[in-house]
Every structure is written in structure tokens, then in C-alpha cells.
Structure 1
Amino acid sequence: MNILDNFKLNREKENFRDVIESIYNGVEFKGTNLWVLVFAIFIASLGLNVNSPAVVIGAMLISPLMGPIMGLGLGMAINDLTLLKKAGYNYLFAAGVGLVTSTIYFAVSPINDAHSEILARTSPNIYDVLIAFFGGLAGILATSSKLKGNVIPGVAIATALMPPLCTAGYGLATWQLDYFLGAFYLFLINTVFIALATLITARLLKFPFKVHPDDKEKTRVNRIVWAIALVTLLPSIYFGYDIVKQNNFQKKANQFVENEAVFPNNFLLKKVVDANSKEIILTYGGLLIKDSAILDLNSKLGKYDLADCNLKIQQGFSYLNETSKNSEQDNLLSSALNEKAKQIEVLSYKLDSIYKQKDLSKQVYKEIKAQHPSVESLILQPTILTNDSIQKNVWISNVKSTEKLNATDKTKMKEWLKVRLNTEEIFINFEN
């Protein structure tokens, strides 16, 4: 069996008349379809407002916006002017309803913050074009097949028509033109390339023309279609290239900081990498970093293709004393420095205790040796005695001597050590 036979669609194709009728029915926004559209707009707006991906996905699933867009593509593919006009009118009507409804919602909503679900729809690029195009291919293939499965809901989620339209409404309601333009451009990308995918697939599947166009008219329509696609595509290529550049800058900057930006007796409190302005800002706590060390660090930028990057080094409390518009960052930095200072103080105290204990043991050994010349070594260590009823500080000691000490000498030594160490309890093991 030829493996290419697995890719053939003839056996699963739906009757062309049924497919066209199905798309005709999905184009119109009246009654149920219109109310479902309005509800989907509110659901998407609420999901964007509370930053809930699950709610936004729900709005994508119930949104009927795919219908008129596929109608536009099919109308051009089969030269059905009636379907084309009907789809175009209903598309503009649905987009207008969505834009007005979402604008009104965000205008009265007490929550006006731009969360991640909103921000994700304001910067379209070439990858969104690819998603829309392949989503459109899957959508028209599923509509034209007897085995539709769960393709249509999946396409609705992938191409995401409703969220960018509602995000555009958010941009209008909050007077943020850049949000409106970015989101509406994403909506247009999805529209154009879903329709284009529908047109191409319908032509490849040989849908019958309603009115067979002459060669001149066919050429003119094709030119218009590809011109629209090209005009929509070009800005997304630029934005996609810009994203790739920013991602590369972030990656190189992180490698540079990890490998090179290490100073003795200093710790990195904060790192800011701004790909748009090509700037790296590093804030350190600890000892003062010399100008020569900073110059040396700057000279290493070229190794990571960051020669045109602006590197700023901010140091500890001098950074805190600068006038800052962001008090929250100052508080975080101050807290971090205080915490590090406490840790250093604790470690310093422990180190001092170790040295003091070492000096004390050495001095006590000399004093015992003067009283009892047969003593040749001494172990002395403070510890805590714990049992069911008490917990107290005690000392333990091991005394090794060349001659056996009598009971009187042992008692005197124990009492002397209590006074010398200022402790109520000491446990001594004698070796000879």
C-alpha cells in the first residue's frame, strides 16, 4: 500500500452542498447566534479582567465568530457574491458588537489593571499569523469532512478570536491606544489568515463555483486577496523578528551576568535586563566595587555580542540613597541588605565563639598542667544537658595524665574547673 494514500481526503469528504449550507448557517448573527456572541463577549471580558485563562478559553469555545470569517474565505473561493456580502456584513456587525460591548464593560468595571491575559494579546507577531493560518486549514478541513471530531473547538481555542477583540475594547475604555492597536491587529491577523486558509483549502478540494469567473476576474480577485494577506503579514514579520532579537539579548545578558558579573565579597541583589533599550542594570550589596573592576567587566561585554549594551552597576546603600520613584523596590532592597547583615552578624558571632573557645581551652590546659604536671592533654567543650525535666548548660572534659590521679586530686580539679569556667556542672573523664 502506498503511504501517500493515507493523506488522501476523498473517502472522508462531506457533500459540498452540505458544507456550503453549514457555513451559510454559521455566517448570520440573529437570534441565538447573536445572544451567544454577546454572552461570549462578556465571558471573555470577565476572564481578561480577572486574569483567568480558564474563563477566556471558555469564551473562545462558545464564540460564533469563526462562522463569518470562514464564510468570507469560502465566498471568495467559490465566487459566491451573495455569501461574500452576507459574511462581510455579519463579520463587521459582530466585530462592532464585540468592540462596543467590551468597551462598555471595561469602562464600568472597577478593575482596570492590564494583567497577563490582556498583555498577551497586545503584541502580535509572525507566529500568530502561522497559528491563524494552520488553525484555518484545520477548521475548513474539519468542516469539509464527515469525521469532524473535536477539531472545531480546538481551532476556536488556538486562533483566539474573541480575546483580542475584547482586549481592543479594554484599550478603548482605558484610553490606551497602543493596547487597542495591538489587540485589533491580532484580531485582523486571525481574520485574514483564517479566511485565506479557507479559500486555499476550498480551491484545493475543488469546491464548485457558484458563478464561474473568467480568467481576468479570477486574476483580479487573486491579486486583491494576496495583497490583503501581504499587507497584514508584513508588520507581523517585523514584530516577530523583534521578539527573536529581544529573546537573544535576554539569553546573552543572562549568560554574561552568570559567568562574568561576580565580585568578591559582594552579592547580587537585583538584575534588570531591558532588551528594548539594550541596558543591563545590576545592583550589588557588600564591599565597594572598584572602578577598575567595573571597567574590566564592561570590556567583557563584547565576548557575548553585547558591545553596544549599556551596563550600569549600582552599589548597596548608595543606590538606596538615590531618589527613586519606586519605593517598593527600595524597601525590598533595604530588607535584603538588613537580612544579609543579620546573617553576617550571626556567622561572625559563631566564628568569634570558636576562636574564644580555642583560646580558653589552651589557657586552662596550661593552668591545670602547672598544678598537675602529669596531665598531658585536655579536652574541654560546652554543651547542653537535656532530659525529661530539665535543660541546662554544662561542660564536658577529658583529662589524660601519665600518672593515675587520686580521688582527692580529681575532686580538687573538678571544683577548680567549675570556678574557672563559671559553671555549676561539669562532667570529667579521667584517662591514664
Structure 2
Amino acid sequence: MANGAGAAGGRSAFSRLGLLARFSLLLDKADDRQIDEGLRAGAQLKGATPWILMLAIFVASIGLNTNSTAVIIGAMLISPLMGPIMGIGYGVGIYDFELVRRSFAGLGVATGISLATSALYFSLSPLTGEQSELLARTSPSIWDVQIALFGGLAGIIGSTRKEKSNVIPGVAIATALMPPLCTAGFGLAKGNWAFFFGAFYLFAINSVFIALATTAMTRALNLPRHTYVDKAVQARVRRLLVAVALLTALPSVYLAWRMVGEELFSAKARAFIAREFAFPGTHLLETSVSPKTRELTVTLVGEPVAQTTLQDVRARLSEAGLAGAALRVFQTREPVDVLASQGDDADKATLLARKLLAEREAAITRLKGELAARDAPWLDHAQDMASELAAQWPGIKDVVIGAGTTTETVGALGEAAATAAHGKTKRPATPGEAVLSAPPEEQNAAAEQPPGPDTAFLSATMTRRPSTAERKRMEAWFQARTKAPAVRVQIGVAPPPRKAKRG
């Protein structure tokens, strides 16, 4: 039992040692002399290095000017700026202050070359727009500090390995040393000091925290010191490093806090606009939210929204967490100009135009129905009236009740009435023939005074011609039932059913 327990304990210890060995930074570490030579060589800025730097700056500036991410990444891979920065951190870590001085000088020269080259390019370039790739380098935050710190740690670890990998190129892309310098050059060329200081601060963050990460990893790997320094000097160096880190990072904390506030404002504003500007017949053509000026701009197309309604919407800004924000609303009845739009805007405009047209047609149909129901309320009771007719006049069928105007030609109706009045065409109705139930003189009067759109119509068929008394009673009932200003009753005579032939 004791031997078994001992064996289990040995395996457990071996497993722990194996796990620690897997994460050991000493496992594939290069020779100390090789590490020292590589970092010192990278810190030098002479020979072909300045030319490579200038060419990389031109490439990065073109990428920023044309908003090409791929070109910017290529420039970051070419850039030799990482060498002097890591040289500073390595020199501080081994207390080689001469190396620190030379690395600072090299970084200063590289920075000057970069600013001058990029400013020259942007002053000559015909493209003067502030592209999104430029704007992205003007607002550093605490997240950029973290990127530089973690990237710097990865960079120094990669530089101390026996086999060189793609760590250094990856760090160059992640920490993005070139684009901020080129953006600062753009600010110099255009006299835009907000661009210059914002971008240069991002470059300072990257440089400082890559150097600090290099110093920390140099100490962690216990690389040999260049010279002996006493405890007091070490303490002064530590205090200086902490002070530099704090002075560099604190503004980024404030900028990050402001960025988060702006993002929250934008999210609340867009949710407010989507919720409050859902009006029938009106559509949002464009929205704009400016967190810096705390302004919400809305462009509406379609039916105008009343000013009282807009005032109510503005009053609800504080309830949505947008107190102090300004709401500007632009409204237009003009149709969407699809042909003047381009690309995605054209697709958006086309869809919006179609939607507006469909909603307008639906609104017209609805209003027509409401107008008909208002001018002809008896149509709502047409089914009941048909049932009442069948109860009062058995045998009546094919009942149709409507509203509108007559479509008979006045001249034709008057001529037929005159012919009947002179007795030229007096005959009983033949089966299957539809006849007007009114006498000729009334038909003539009706022809001379055609009904208006507020006339109620009744059409039906009976197996016999109704008498004059029945017709008048039916008209009186229809008049009382519909309460229409005028009524027209037309009764047709239906043919009798055919008798079956005997064999």
C-alpha cells in the first residue's frame, strides 16, 4: 500500500512538473549573447533602415489616404520602428543606459523622418478627405494601452526564442506604430492639431508600453545585467517607470470613459428614434446622432408630423436618458429621388419609395371605404334589408342594394318614356324581360333629374310585374329604411321555370 501511494504521489509530482515545463519560458529560450546581439542590432537606425522606414511611411500614408486596410497592414510589416522601442526597454531592463540613450536617439530620428515624410505626402496629395482609417487613430483609449502592453510582451518573448517566428510581424500589426505617425503627419500638413495630438498620443502610448513590457520580460527572464547598480539606482528606475506609465495611461482612462459615454448616448438615441418616430404614412429617411454635441437629427418622408406631436417627443428625451440633448427634425413631402441616389443608398431609396407607394394606395383605399360608409350608411345593413324584402314580398330574389349615381343616358331614357306615353309600345312584359317598375311619366322626370352620389339603389327580380301600389310601398319602405335623400328601385320579371317534356 505504501509503495502504491508513493508511486501515485510521484506521478502527480511528475505531472505538475510536466505542466510547468510546458509553460516555461526557459524551454526554448535563445542564448543570452544571441538575444543581446539581436536586440542591440534592431535598435540601430543606420544603413538601409532609414530608407526602408521612409518607404514604409509612404506606403502607410497612401493606405490611409485611400482608406485601404491591406496597404496599411503591409506598411506595418515593413516598418523598422519596433527595434528602437524594444532597445529602450531592453536597455532599462539590463541597466545599460548607453543603449537606452542610443535607442532614444534612434527613435527620435525615426519619428522625425516619419512625420516629415508623411506631412510631405499629405501636403502634395490631391485626396484631402478625412478617411475612416485616419479618424480611427485620433482617439486613443485605455484599450490601446492594453494592446501595446500585451503586444510588447509577445514581442519580447518572440525575440528571445531560438527559432524566430511570425510574432514580431504580428506585434507590428497589432500595436500599429506606423499609422499614428502618418496620421500625425496628416495633421501637420493640414494644420489640424486635433489630428496631430490625438495620433501622436496614440504613438506615445504604443511606444511607452511596448518598452515597459520589454523591460518587465527582460527582468522576468533574468537576462544578465550590463553593469552593477546599487539599490538606490534600482529604486529610482522603478519609480521613474511607474511615473511614466501613469502619466501616459491616465489621459487614456479619461478618453475611454468619454468613449463609453458617447457609445451609451448613441445607443440610447438610436433606440429612442426607432421607438418614437413610428408614425403611419411617415418614414425615417435618415438619422444622425452626434454624441459630442448631443444632437439627434431626423429626416422624415411622407405625411408631416404635427409640431405638437414633435414637442411631446422632445419632452420624452429626459425619460430616455437623453436629458439636455437637442432634437432636430426635417420633414418633406417630396418623393424619394431614386435616380439621384447611388449604391446602397439607391437600394434603400427604391425600397422606401415602394413602401411609401404601397402605404399610400392602402390609405386611399381605406379612405374611400370610410367615405362610402359615411355617405351610404345603409350599405352596412344591406343583408338585413334583403331578408326583410323576402319576408314582405315572397318570391323576390337576386336582391342587390347599392349607392352611387345612375349611368343611363338621359336622352335614351327620355325617348323611351315619351314613346310609352303616346301608347306606341304598350304591351305586357314578356317572361325574362326586365322592365322599370315606374310609369313612363315618372321615368321621364327621373331622366331629367339624374340622382346624385347619395342615391340608394335597389335591384331585384320577381316572378311577376309588381303593381303600382306594391312599387310605391316598396319605394316608401326602402326610403324609410335607408334614410337616403333619393332612392331608385328597379324590379325585373324572372322567367317561369320550364316544364319537363313528356316522353
- TM-score higher than 0.5 here? yes
- Tell me the secondary structure at the aligned position of residue 12 of structure 1: coil
Q: Partners in 2 of 1:125 and 1:27 — Cα distance?
A: 27
Which residue, 284, 288, 294 being the options, matches 2:300? 284
Per the alignment, do residues 231 and 374 of structure 1 end up closer, same or farther by CA in structure 2, a change over 3 Å counting?
Answer: farther
Per the alignment, do residues 161 and 342 of structure 1 end up closer, same or farther by CA in structure 2, a change over 3 Å counting?
Answer: closer
Which residue, 320, 333, 347 being the options, matches 2:361? 347
CA contact (8 A) 1:273 1:279 kept: yes
State the partner residue of 2:215. 199
**TM-fit CA distance, 1:298:** 2.9
Q: Which runs of 5+ in 2 are unaligned?
A: 1-14, 335-341, 370-378, 380-400, 408-428, 435-460, 464-497, 499-503
Q: Partners in 2 of 1:271 and 1:74 — Cα distance?
A: 51
Q: Which runs of 5+ in 1 are unaligned?
A: 319-327, 376-400, 404-431
1:246 maps onto 2:262 in alignment = yes
**TM-fit CA distance, 1:117:** 1.4
Q: Partners in 2 of 1:113 and 1:372 — Cα distance?
A: 88
1:117 maps onto 2:117 in alignment = no
CA contact (8 A) 2:119 2:186 kept: yes
Task: Kindly report which structure 2 residues correspond to 1:322-341, keeping only aligned pairs within 5 A, or say none.
Answer: 339=353
Which residue, 49, 53, 62 being the options, matches 2:65? 49
Aligned partner letter, 2:195: Y
Aligned partner letter, 1:296: D
- Tell me the secondary structure at the aligned position of residue 269 of structure 1: strand
Say which one has the larger Rg. Answer: 2
1:163 maps onto 2:150 in alignment = no
1:237 maps onto 2:253 in alignment = yes
**TM-fit CA distance, 1:224:** 1.4
1:128 maps onto 2:136 in alignment = no
C-alpha distance after superposition, 1:3-52 (max 9, x if no partner):
44432212111112111110111111111222211111111111112211
Q: Partners in 2 of 1:371 and 1:172 — Cα distance?
A: 103
Q: Partners in 2 of 1:371 and 1:345 — Cα distance?
A: 51
1:69 maps onto 2:61 in alignment = no
Aligned partner letter, 1:207: L
Per the alignment, do residues 36 and 342 of structure 1 end up closer, same or farther by CA in structure 2, a change over 3 Å counting?
Answer: same
Task: Kindly report which structure 2 residues correspond to 1:85-96, keeping only aligned pairs within 5 A, or say none.
Answer: 85-96=101-112
1:182 maps onto 2:198 in alignment = yes
- Tell me the secondary structure at the aligned position of residue 27 of structure 2: helix
Aligned partner letter, 1:275: P
**TM-fit CA distance, 1:314:** 3.1
CA contact (8 A) 1:60 1:161 kept: yes
Aligned partner letter, 2:186: Y
C-alpha distance after superposition, 1:352-381 (max 9, x if no partner):
9x98xxx9x979xx99xx998599xxxxxx
- Tell me the secondary structure at the aligned position of residue 36 of structure 1: helix
Aligned partner letter, 1:79: Y
Question: RMSD between aligned alpha carbons?
Answer: 3.6
State the partner residue of 1:214. 230
Task: Kindly report which structure 2 residues correspond to 1:132-151, keeping only aligned pairs within 5 A, or say none.
Answer: 132-151=148-167
Aligned partner letter, 1:204: A
1:297 maps onto 2:302 in alignment = no
Per the alignment, do residues 351 and 71 of structure 1 end up closer, same or farther by CA in structure 2, a change over 3 Å counting?
Answer: same
C-alpha distance after superposition, 1:255-301 (max 9, x if no partner):
11222332233222221211112221222233342344223323433
| Structure 1 stretches of 4+ moved >4 Å | 338-342, 348-352, 370-375
CA contact (8 A) 2:54 2:117 kept: yes
Which residue, 96, 113, 122 being the options, matches 1:80? 96
Aligned partner letter, 1:140: I
C-alpha distance after superposition, 1:369-408 (max 9, x if no partner):
x998599xxxxxxxxxxxxxxxxxxxxxxxxx999xxxxx
Per the alignment, do residues 134 and 341 of structure 1 end up closer, same or farther by CA in structure 2, a change over 3 Å counting?
Answer: closer
**TM-fit CA distance, 1:303:** 3.7
State the partner residue of 1:306. 322
- Tell me the secondary structure at the aligned position of residue 235 of structure 1: helix
Query: Identity across aligned pairs (percent)?
Result: 42
Q: Partners in 1 of 2:309 and 2:287 — Cα distance?
A: 18
Moved more, 224-233 or 283-292: 283-292
Q: Partners in 2 of 1:148 and 1:259 — Cα distance?
A: 56
**TM-fit CA distance, 1:135:** 0.5
CA contact (8 A) 1:167 1:180 kept: yes
**TM-fit CA distance, 1:350:** 8.8
- Tell me the secondary structure at the aligned position of residue 41 of structure 2: helix
Per the alignment, do residues 251 and 373 of structure 1 end up closer, same or farther by CA in structure 2, a change over 3 Å counting?
Answer: farther
Return the structure number with greater relative CO, CA threshold 8 A, min gap 6.
Answer: 1
Count of aligned pairs: 359
The TM-score, its normalising length taken from structure 2, stands at 0.65
Q: Partners in 2 of 1:349 and 1:253 — Cα distance?
A: 30
Per the alignment, do residues 21 and 373 of structure 1 end up closer, same or farther by CA in structure 2, a change over 3 Å counting?
Answer: farther
Q: Partners in 2 of 1:349 and 1:266 — Cα distance?
A: 12
**TM-fit CA distance, 1:131:** 0.7
Q: Partners in 1 of 2:263 and 2:362 — Cα distance?
A: 43
Moved more, 18-27 or 142-151: 142-151
Aligned partner letter, 2:174: A
C-alpha distance after superposition, 1:138-195 (max 9, x if no partner):
0001111224321111001001111111111111111111111111111111110100
**TM-fit CA distance, 1:210:** 0.7
Aligned partner letter, 1:29: L
